[in-house]
Chain A
Amino acid sequence: MARLPLDYAVRNLGRSPLRAGLSVLGACLVVLLIIAAAGFVTGMSRSLRASGDDRHVILLGAGSEESIERSEIPASVGSLVAAAVPGLETSMGVPHVSAEVHVQLPVRATPDADNPRLLLIRGVTPAAMLVHRSVQITEGRFPRAGHDEIMLGSAAPRQLGLAESDLAVGSTLWIDKSRWTIVGRFAAPGTVMQAEAWTALTDLKAATKRETDSCVVLALGDAEFADIDAFARQRLDLELTAIPETRYYAGLASFFRPVQAVVWATALLIAAGGLLGGLNTMYAAFSSRVRELGMLQCLGYRRGAIVLSLVQESLLAASAGAVLASIVGLAMLDGLAVRFSTGVFGLVVDHTVVALGLAAGLALGLIGALPPALRALRLPIPESLKAA
């Protein structure tokens, strides 16, 4: 089938620079939205996945498998499991067993600040640094016990909505009613931990008036998950459940799947609105050219060739918008920190997300042009030659 030259499609775009501009802009916005949604969902999933290590096991209170924060276990569990299970990872004789308290507490920069935000405070012992290898202290030091000291993750300021300068090492924070001193900053790239504050286990338990721990996280080393599981089942008195850390975060991810679905649904609804707008523009543009399309058929061009040319025209505008959106997405959205109940995570605009955005842009160009093109060619040639 003989085609119309691509140049014809290009120049038809130039018939109305305003329409072409709006088409490019519309496609750009829709694709940007899809990139943002995909970046959000990818970022959230990735941060939850990165937070779990397949050689780590979490011991939780039986019945609290879904939430560490709700879990309570005796403070003795850490030392009991370390003594009972041989082969756990050790460093210079210290087993990689981290007893922890996880609690969300309101945090203020000043004692009378309004609307404090919640931050996940993790009470830990130095063993936590052995278990959670992705945590790197970037400034200051690890909090000492007995001094109400605290160490902030790199994304904590964003989580709190506070300026970095308010949270410099040496400044103070108000957690609930008590005063804490910031002694360090840490990074834990890509994990939920970067949006937490860490403090000494005993200090946090004193401040929250609790005797129990939330969980024990341990590194298996030469032991197997079955060993830890057996320990949990045998020590009925401790009321424990053992779950692999990866499974815990996979559970969190599936808990948030409805949220991801809502994000997608919203993005797709708005994209559908954009598509309808695009259809409308294209209907107007093509229907004003019905007579010219009749003339082309008169010359011997087949309908298919004409539809192809009209679709090319729309694809040109849509792909220009999609490329623009990908550039903006990569430059401005990739890594952008967002605050969510899973903590702070970065939007991920990787090649999969960009490819998805580009594909969405092409689909938009195709679906936006096909019905108007077919409609513009609906009339028999003699009637289209009579069109205005």
Chain B
Amino acid sequence: MTTAPFIQCRSLTRAYRKGATVITPLRELDLDVPAGDFVALMGPSGSGKTTLLNLIAGIDRPTAGSLIIGGVDLGRLSAARLADWRAASVGYVFQLYNLVPVLTAYENVELPLLLRRMPSRERHRRVALALELTGIADRHDHYPRQLSGGQEQRVAIARAIVADPPLLVADEPTGDLDGESAAAIMSLLVRLNRELGKTLIMVTHDPRSAAHARRTLHLEKGRLVADDRPNAEAAA
């Protein structure tokens, strides 16, 4: 028996109209990602990686084709429903962390939980757990400016997982970090995939980061040109 893939893209297309010209960063892409997979998206700059990631994260909408995640057809949701879907279903990790400078690490991680009704004890428990999992609990009362890049990214990852979404997306999460911090962040992401079973889609330029993924997709000019599964045996 085959179950439906967690993420299902069919002829997924994103186009921008600029006057008379139409730019199509993503062209009729077909893709299935099973739950619990770890996919690296690679390709030259401008090949459509971020475009695909943003569609999967529910912050952009397809121009054509369909995108179904966890049985939900994202193209059919209203803007408000899509916002609710994001809050429940996806954690976004940015290259530049995007922490709120006026909030402490703890308060930054707490932000997604304020979107749902929850006793404050439970909220506190979850924030503490997320900070613990990402190894940044000792800095919970620090402001972003008091943290290193690697530490900021840990806080950002804690924020992405605190609401326990099944899906994590990351756009060049180590792109702004030195080699050592990058390696530490990568092993954290791998643990989130292996131990917590998060489905993880990650854009990266760095082959060493991509090597941690179970599967690497290569995009070029908005089309999928290669789909490598070096670790396929491990997943199978």
Q: Which residues of A contact B (CB under 8 A)?
A: 2, 4-5, 8, 11-12, 14-15, 291-292, 295-303, 380-382, 385
Contacts and interface: CB of A to CB of B under 8 A. Distances in A.
**At the interface, is chain A mostly helix, strand, loop or mixed?**
helix
B54 A382 contact: yes
Interface residues of B, number: 28
Contact of A8 (B86, B98, B100, B159): B100
Contacts of B103: 8, 11
Contacts of B51: 382
A298 B80 contact: no
B86 A300 contact: yes
18 contacts: A4-B114, A8-B102, A11-B103, A15-B102, A291-B96, A292-B98, A296-B111, A298-B57, A298-B92, A299-B112, A299-B115, A300-B86, A300-B115, A301-B83, A302-B79, A381-B60, A382-B51, A385-B98
B94 A295 contact: yes
A299 B87 contact: yes
B156 to A, nearest CB: 9
A382 B86 CA distance: 14
A214 B39 CA distance: 100
Interface string B144-176: 000000000000000100000000000000000
A302 B112 contact: no
A2 B102 contact: no
B114 A2 contact: yes
B216 interface: no
Contacts of B50: 382
Given A300-B85, A385-B94, 5 more contacts: A8-B102, A12-B102, A300-B87, A302-B83, A382-B51
B101 interface: yes
5 nearest CB pairs, A to B:
A300-B87, A11-B102, A381-B59, A295-B98, A2-B115
A299 B102 contact: no
A178 B85 CA distance: 91
Contacts of A385: 59, 94, 98
B111 A299 contact: yes
B132 interface: no
Contacts of B92: 295, 298-299
B84 interface: yes
Interface in B98-112: 98, 100-103, 111-112
A299 B7 CA distance: 20
Contacts of A302: 79-80, 83
